[in-house]
Amino acid sequence: SWACVLKEKHPEMLHLLQFPYNGEPPKRLVTSKPITPNPLHFVRNHGGIPIIEKDKWSMTLDGLVANPKSYTLDDLMDESKFPRMEKVITMQCSGTRRIEQIGLYPGQGDELPQAPWAEGAIGTAKYVGISLKKVIKDCGGLIGGAKHLELYGVDTYFKADHVMNYLVSIPWSKVKANEVMLAWEMNGEVLPKIHGYPLRVVVMGYIGARSVKWLYRIKAIENPSLAPVQSKEYLYFNQQVGKHNQRPTDGIQIQEMPVSSAIMSPWTKQVVIHNGTIRTKGWAYSGGGRWPERVELSADGGFSWYAVPNENLSKKGKWTWRTWEFDLPCDVEGWIEIVCRCWDNSLNTQPLTIRAAWNWGLHVTSSAHRISVYSIN
Ligand code: MTE
Ligand code: MO
């Protein structure tokens, strides 16, 4: 699987964990383009990277459906049966910017050692595939009170004392809304092995964890999956929960990410020499089909804010981030704190401090992004 990393990923990827492989692009390259080139898209794995031969692969749809069926890739690519779907979608890991929470208080994260994600565990790609809804319809639809779909990945990993497949579930309502894709193409290329070849799920507006790679089975069930990734990980705990008192039932299952943003340039601790304005760059994103409506920057720790003009933000899209650039006015010399926050189209915004967002699972670091730079005017 290391050969796969070297072949498919950019040489400057930051390898956060070698096994399971987890990596993100360096700061300089996170927002170099509104659509992330495949070699720079972050990678989050719980186990190995399965190498699957397309001709030996098939996908089963079973459980509470009228007519359980198996499909080859050619079956799914048959346009007379399943209309082709093409969408630009931002995928964000709920661990994005976890490093800031770790810096404040260490917590559990989902895995040990916890992947210390910075601002790069987010990426945007144009996916080609079909709507999962159509495949469910092709199986005669759901029966017997089915309301959720379990999604099985081929990859396995150790949990406690046994080996299991990567497995989560998503609600049927999301599928019914045509917001769940089965994708075989990413940015005009065959889906890379490291991103789930031959077929992956892409759930629009949900955390990356629900977008199962190396998909081989979908099972219709009544209630959310009891598999550990769904029921015990990716939970949002309140701040009283820690190592000694955490119970999965006290956590909220994380589905949609709240609005968040990050400054990708300059970097914290950098000396910035300028003529009254500091050139800043970054991204802004909101889950659940909401989009960044306004991005604001502060050069004084969040006391006063400048709105980034709309033309400095990349195109609006229901399922995508917006990258931005802004010349931030600054007339002081010395250490300053630059802060970024976003307002989405529902006027949700970000908490101002990391502490306000801190949680034992170290997920959803959605606080306003703060960096300290030395300003020379
Ligand atoms: N699918 C499988 N089969 N195995 C995994 O470990 N990780 C999930 C999701 N799908 C995972 C998976 C998580 S937590 C994230 S954030 C996304 O994949 C990351 O997708 P990417 O590696 O293509 O960026
Ligand atoms: Mo994730």
Q: DSSP letters along 73-86, please?
A: HHHHH-TTTS--EE
For 336, the token pair is: 């300053």
Least Cα distance to 263 among 291, 302, 231, 233 occurs for 302
Please state the φ and ψ torsions of residue 93, each to the nearest 5 degrees: -75, 140
ipTM: 1.00
Q: Which H, E and C letters describe 98-129, residue by residue?
A: HHHHHHHCCCCCCCCCCCCCCCCCEEEEEEEE
Q: CB count, 10 Å around CB of 17?
A: 16
Tokens of 52: 């699957």
pLDDT value of residue 134:
98
> Are residues 120 and 369 in contact, defined by beta-carbon separation less than 8 angstroms?
no
Long-range contacts of 99-105, Cβ-Cβ distance < 8 Å, separation of 24 or more:
100/354, 100/365, 100/367, 101/354, 101/357, 101/358, 101/359, 101/362, 101/365, 102/362, 103/354, 104/354, 104/355, 104/358, 105/358
CA of 67 to the centre of ligand 1 (A): 29
Q: Which residues contact 146 (CB under 8 A, 6 or more apart)?
A: 63, 64, 65, 172, 220, 221, 222
- Atom 13, ligand 1: residue with shortest CA distance: 209
Strand order across the beta sheet in which 271-273 lies: 271-273, 369-376, 334-344, 292-298, 306-307
For the Cβ of 87 lying below 6 angstroms from any atom of ligand 1, the answer is no
State the amino acid at position 123 in one-letter form.
G
Look at residue 88 in the predicted model and tell me its pLDDT.
98
Q: For position 110, what pLDDT does the model report?
A: 74
Q: At which residue do the structure tokens 């029921």 appear?
A: 231
Q: What is the DSSP string of 40-67?
A: GS-EE-SS------GGG--EEEEESBSS
Residue type, 194: I
Scanning the structure block, which residue is given the tokens 């009891």?
226
Nearest to 130 by CA among 192, 175, 65, 69: 175
Give 44 Cα–ligand 1 centroid separation in angstroms.
Answer: 5
Residue in 46, 186, 233 to alter for ligand 1 test, most ligand atoms within 8 A of Cβ: 46
Ligand closest to CA 20: 1
C-beta 43 within 6 A of ligand 1: yes
Q: Is the dihedral of CA 152, 241, 114, 180 positive or negative?
A: positive
Task: Report whether residue 109 contacts ligand 1, using a CB cutoff of 6 Å.
Answer: no
Indicate the Cα dihedral angle 281, 10, 257, 195, nearest 10°. Answer: 160
Ligand 1 atom at shortest distance from the alpha carbon of 195: 23
Predicted pLDDT of residue 188: 98
**CB under 8 Å to 176, separation ≥6 — which residues?**
133
- How confident is the chain (377 residues) per 10-residue block, as mean pLDDT? 91 93 97 97 95 96 98 98 98 97 89 85 98 98 98 88 91 98 98 98 98 98 95 93 86 96 97 98 98 98 98 97 98 97 98 94 97 97
Ligand nearest to the backbone CA of 164: 1
Please give the radius of gyration of the chain, using alpha carbons only, rounded to the nearest integer.
21
pLDDT at 307 (0 to 100): 98
Give the position, in ligand 1's atom list, of the atom nearest the Cα of 234: 14
One-letter amino acid for residue 121 of the chain: A
Question: Distances in Å between the alpha carbon of 153 and those of 60, 128, 169?
Answer: 12, 19, 11
Supply the pLDDT for residue 111: 66
- CA 309 to chain centroid, in Å, comes to 26
